[in-house]
Amino acid sequence: MTTVDYFFSTSSPWTYLGSKRFTEIAAKAGATVNVYPVAFHEVFAVSGGLPLPKRSPQRQAYRLQELARWKRRTGLPLIEQPTNFPSTDPISAQMIVAARLGGQDALGLSNAILAALWEEDRNIDDAGVLVSVADAIGLDGKTLIETAQTDAVAEQYEADTKAAIDMGIFGAPSYLIDGELFWGQDRVDFVAEKLGVA
């Protein structure tokens, strides 16, 4: 069985735009997905990336054009400039880590959290919102949010971020399969090809 190491940010519109298709591809391939939300401000600091507010006006304007294009291409109900963007608290990522460590549906939870921000403009830095998102997909949101706030999960989140840096991850979403890196929602066709389901 093939394994995909999936690195992303819960605040990334590009991760959102690729999440449904990637999930479908992985399921079709019968692949195991290791779900790693990581701290991309730390990744950018060592890989040459810049957080959105520090990018040039030209790049920020082009990003909005690209989001509109991908919204049309995918047909997804993307809110291009949600009021609750960017997420500044690691709690949503740590909740997904808690789900993964507990053997629960971390991939499903990550997709639901991404949709909460990019489809519904909900505040994914709010613990109550996260509990309701988890509950809505059949998980125990209260237990997950409590676990997410433990030192053990915070330490695992930091360890996952360090591992991502060590593996050469520099952008979200990234998919690592048998040592081969695929970066961006526009590379999911190559992911499908690598998994033998193109």
The pLDDT, as a whole number, for residue 126 is: 98
Joined tokens for residue 85: 């963007």
Say which amino acid occupies 44.
F
pTM (2 d.p.): 0.96
Q: What is the DSSP code (8-state) at residue 198?
A: -
Q: Are 170 and 2 in contact (CB under 8 A)?
A: no
**Rounded distance between C-alpha atoms, residue 99 and residue 96, angstroms:** 5
The pLDDT, as a whole number, for residue 48 is: 93
The pLDDT, as a whole number, for residue 1 is: 80
* C-alpha dihedral sign at 183, 51, 23, 110: positive
Q: Are 191 and 177 in contact (CB under 8 A)?
A: yes
**Rounded distance between C-alpha atoms, residue 150 and residue 57, angstroms:** 39
Joined tokens for residue 151: 């030192």
183, β-bridge pairs: 174
Q: Pick the closest to residue 40 from 31, 25, 50, 30 (CA basis).
A: 50
Instruction: Round the CA-based radius of gyration of the chain to a whole number and report it.
Output: 16
**Rounded distance between C-alpha atoms, residue 189 and residue 198, angstroms:** 7
Residue 102 DSSP SS3: coil
Question: b/e map of 14-45 (b: 16 or more CB within 10 Å)?
Answer: bbbbbbbbbbebbeebebebebbbbbbeebee
Q: What is the DSSP code (8-state) at residue 176?
A: E
Positions in the chain short of pLDDT 70: none
Burial of 188 (0-12, 13-18, 19+ CB in 10 A): buried
| Cα 153 to chain centroid, rounded | 17
